[in-house]
Structure 1
Amino acid sequence: MRVLLLLCLPVLVLTGCVTAPPSNPSNLCRVFKQKHGWYQDADHAYKRWGAPIPVQMSIIYQESRYIGDARPPRNHLFWIIPWTHISSAYGYTQALDSTWNHYKSQTGHPFADRDDFGDATDFVGWYVEQSHRILGISKSDAYSQYLAYYVGAGGYRRGVYRHKPWLMRTARRVQSRAHRYGRQLAGCRSELEHPGHWWWPF
């Protein structure tokens, strides 16, 4: 047993902080009931930044499918050998190194990790608040918020998304999912806030 534990320890150290994605990401109630603590994380970000929970969760789903250590594809050396990733995007939010570092410095949260779900919801809440303050986008406008999230404040001002039909289609999916998540959350929010001793079959 001791030998087995020693053999497994490196694996636990490397993978123990990132959990598997929820089994039914299309249903927000099931997501929150399966992933204990996620609702509290999203609710904390909502109370701190005013970003509606369905908007937060729809953006995170679109960026990573709730995969905590998600990364973009790699470039290939000589078209064969896997090389560097095409960007520094990482984690639940796919935030770039530069954007994440700016968030940490602006919020006084120097130890935030992109593969920590609580930090991810706080980041998205902060970004939504920034887009509202700088660009005047409603915090509940998932379509415009996602466009600003993807192209940045400067790109949004210049309207660069208008030349990216695929991005506008993606933003509409984010909006549709946020609306669906909102309807679902309305039916289970009370239970999530006062869970008692419920049991939810998956």
Structure 2
Amino acid sequence: MVGKFWQPARPRKKRRQTRRDRWLSRTKWYGLPVLGVLIGTWATLRFSLLAPNPPVNPEDVCDIFREHTVWYDYASDSQARWGTPIATQMAFVYYESSFRSHAQPPRTRLWGFIPWSRPSTAYGYAQALDPAWREYLAANGDGLFTVRTDMEYALDFVGWYNHLTNRQLDIPFHSPRRLYLAYHEGRGGYARKTYARKPTVTALAKRVQNRAFRYDNQLKSCEQEFQCWHWYQFWPFCG
């Protein structure tokens, strides 16, 4: 006698179909979050954990480029495109971020001990502010991998910003002090001479100029090393 709760077994094909439908349903629910986690992990590895360390000897631009040779290519490309000398670009980065790819201003403290907001949106090698960076992206292409933590785009940003400063304020490229004042204060601030009330800023601009001149003298003794380092480059067809 058959029990009243007995039911005939479902055909094997139907069971397989049900299992497949269940996995498809789970994929729809969990697939996108998992994909997001994978993309986030990849981005972290690409732009944070794999970022190059600051140079061991940042006082000598020749040693900087020997350690990070591709940085010379980036600075040279920026100079060719926008006009700011290589040494001036590197002096800007020295004082803006100490060559740290993810540099940010320290957070303020709420009630003296709770980490709070940052005083500005400056970020990356060049400490580009959000509005200026958005303007740069709009003018030069908003690429997925165009980020402030990549030296290639940081140096291009410095060159682009100084190019506009040169055009709008007629500040020559051979005046790192004045270029940096306009970079730090903004072109509008420079025009209003806001730096005149900020002795720490004017002193910093003077140090930027001194370092730019020092880097330039150092580079004269070693630049050919970096102009002929690719396998397809050889003297006298490089540099």
Q: Confirm or deny a common fold (TM above 0.5).
A: yes
Q: Quote the residue 2:183 is aligned against.
A: 149
Say whether 1:193 aligns with 2:238: no
Deviation track 1:93-123 (CA, whole Å, cap 9, x = no partner) reads: 1111111111110122443201000000000
Cα deviation, 1:68-113, whole Å, max 9, x if unaligned, reads: 0000010122221112212111100111111111111012244320
Higher relative contact order by CA 8 Å / sep ≥ 6: 1 or 2?
1
**Alpha-carbon distance change, 60 to 10 in structure 1, aligned in 2, over 3 angstroms:** closer
1:72 counterpart = 2:132: no
The whole-number CA distance in structure 1 between the counterparts of 2:228 and 2:152 is 20
How far did 1:54 drift? Answer: 0.6
1:136 to 167, 170, 175: 170
Give 1 or 2 for the bigger CA radius of gyration. Answer: 2
Q: Deviations over 1:47-77 (max 9, x none)?
A: 1101100111101111000000000010122
- Aligned to 1:38, the other structure's residue is in SS state helix
Deviant stretches of 4+, over 3 Å: 8-14
The residue that corresponds to 2:55 in the other structure is: 22
Aligned partner of residue 93 in structure 1, secondary structure: coil
Q: Distance in 2 between matches of 1:38 and 1:99?
A: 22
How far apart, CA to CA, are the structure 2 residues paired with 1:63 and 1:25?
13
The aligned counterpart of 2:218 is: 184
Once structures 1 and 2 are overlaid, which stretch shifts more, 76-85 or 87-96? 76-85
Q: Which residue of 2 aligns with 1:123?
A: 157
- The sequence identity of aligned pairs, in percent, is 40
Q: Secondary structure at the match of 1:37?
A: helix
Structure 2 unmatched runs, 5+: 1-40, 232-239
Alpha-carbon spacing, 1:77–1:193, altered in 2? closer, same or farther (3 Å): same
Q: Which moved more, 1:118-127 or 1:15-24?
A: 15-24
SS at match of 2:128: coil
Kindly indicate whether residue 124 of structure 2 is the aligned counterpart of residue 100 of structure 1.
no
Aligned CA RMSD, in angstroms, stands at 1.9
Alignment partners' CA distance in 1, 2:46 and 2:209: 37
Distance 1:74 1:183 in 2: 37
Secondary structure, aligned partner of 2:222: helix
Alpha-carbon separation, structure 2, partners of 1:10 and 1:50: 32
TM-score of the superposed pair, with normalisation by structure 1: 0.88
